[in-house]
Amino acid sequence: MKALRLGLAMLMVMAMVTTAEAAKKKYLSIATGGTGGVYYLIGAGIAKLMSKYAPNIEATSETTAAGVENTRLLGTKKAEVALIDETTLRATLAKTPAIKIDNFQAVFSGHPMFAHIFVPAESPIKDIPDFRGKKVAVGAPGSGNEVGAKTITEEYGLVYKDFKPLWLSFSEQVNAFKDRSIDAGIITAGVPTSAVIDLTTTIPVRFLSLTDAKMKAIEAKNPAFFPNLLPANTYKGQTTAIKGMGSSGTITVHKDLDEETAYWLCKVIAEHYKELAEVHPAGNLYTLDRIFEGIGIPFHPGAIKYLKEVGIWQKRPARFK
């Protein structure tokens, strides 16, 4: 009987310890994207790494409609972490005045995307100013793609009244190109992207480069964009490298996320990105040497704490105070 009482007491102690540990555990929701997309895979990989390496954190990835939905989920605290490119963030908030941009803070710059600007190979269009009077697809209405398209064309002195903007999704742009019903298209997406692969394997396409001066001017006005390079032979018929603007799918958090969690989020990604690359090759791009790319919103104090520890914050661009 004495042994039985001792055994029951030990079980009660173990149960109390387990309950205490569970009480300390933080559950982290990461808003990603559609199943099979890069956002979804990278988000799932980060959730796995956080659960593995961050103490007392259990993270899960949530399937979403990507940037626009992620902005709303994070802004209303229905997710703690989200993958959002800043052009989409700003475009969404412009239509959602109840959610303020001050609530969003960065932890890590994600994989870059490229603004593909293309015309039919035989087109007389040689540069952006030649868009005047032409039909140009700028992306879905209010999308990050449209924000980027408008930013680029305005830097070249063109506003919408100077050409005929068409608000088409990626697939709609491809179909319109095949039908020869548009003169130029702009698709900002990861490289390579399936829509552009489909297009270039169907009809001959020519990509337009931006000048160094224009790229620097765009970046100075909008830090969400940065000069980028589309390597030669990324797509069929594209035999030379193309200069253009890039943006990044930033690891973004709500400003009210506790400092310790943001610290571990930054630390885990920085120190285990090779494991992230095992989930998707884009993980190789989650490195400290490009952590500030495409980010204009402030960094979370928890991320800053880690970046100071490793000597990176001291090298930050001037836009981060």
Q: What is the CA radius of gyration of the chain?
A: 23
Is the pLDDT reported for residue 294 higher than 60? yes
Query: Considering the entire predicted model, what is its pTM?
Result: 0.75
Query: How high is the pLDDT of residue 19?
Result: 45
Q: Where are the beta strands (DSSP E) in 179-241?
A: 184-189, 205-207, 226-230
Query: How high is the pLDDT of residue 5?
Result: 54
Q: What is the mean pLDDT of the chain?
A: 90
Q: How confident is the model at residue 261 (pLDDT cuts 50, 70, 90)?
A: very high
In the chain, CATH 3.40.190.10 sits at 24-111+248-315, 112-247
Is the pLDDT reported for residue 109 higher than 90? yes
Q: How confident is the model at residue 10 (pLDDT cuts 50, 70, 90)?
A: low
Q: Confirm if 186 and 285 have CB atoms less than 8 A apart.
A: no
Is the pLDDT reported for residue 148 higher than 60? yes
Q: Which superfamily is assigned to 24-111+248-315 in CATH?
A: Periplasmic binding protein-like II (3.40.190.10)
Average pLDDT of the segment spanning 55-67: 92
Q: How confident is the model at residue 203 (pLDDT cuts 50, 70, 90)?
A: very high
Is the pLDDT reported for residue 252 higher than 90? yes
The candidate with the shortest Cα–Cα distance to 65, out of 89, 40, 34, is 34
Fold of the 112-247 domain: D-Maltodextrin-Binding Protein; domain 2 (3.40.190)
Q: Confirm if 204 and 122 have CB atoms less than 8 A apart.
A: yes
Strand, helix or coil for residue 314: helix
Query: How high is the pLDDT of residue 206?
Result: 98
At 62, give phi and psi (nearest 5°): -115, 130
Token pair recorded at residue 25: 């555990």
Residue 273 to residue 111: CA distance in whole angstroms: 12
Query: How high is the pLDDT of residue 2?
Result: 52
Query: How high is the pLDDT of residue 87?
Result: 84
- Roughly how many angstroms between the first and final C-alpha of the chain, as a whole number? 68
Average pLDDT of the segment spanning 179-197: 90
Q: Which helix (H) or strand (E) holds 135?
A: strand 135-137
Residue 40 to residue 224: CA distance in whole angstroms: 21
Lowest mean pLDDT among 11-15, 39-43, 181-185, 268-272: 11-15
Of all residues in the chain, what percent carry a pLDDT higher than 90? 69
Of all residues in the chain, what percent carry a pLDDT higher than 70? 93
Query: How high is the pLDDT of residue 143?
Result: 74
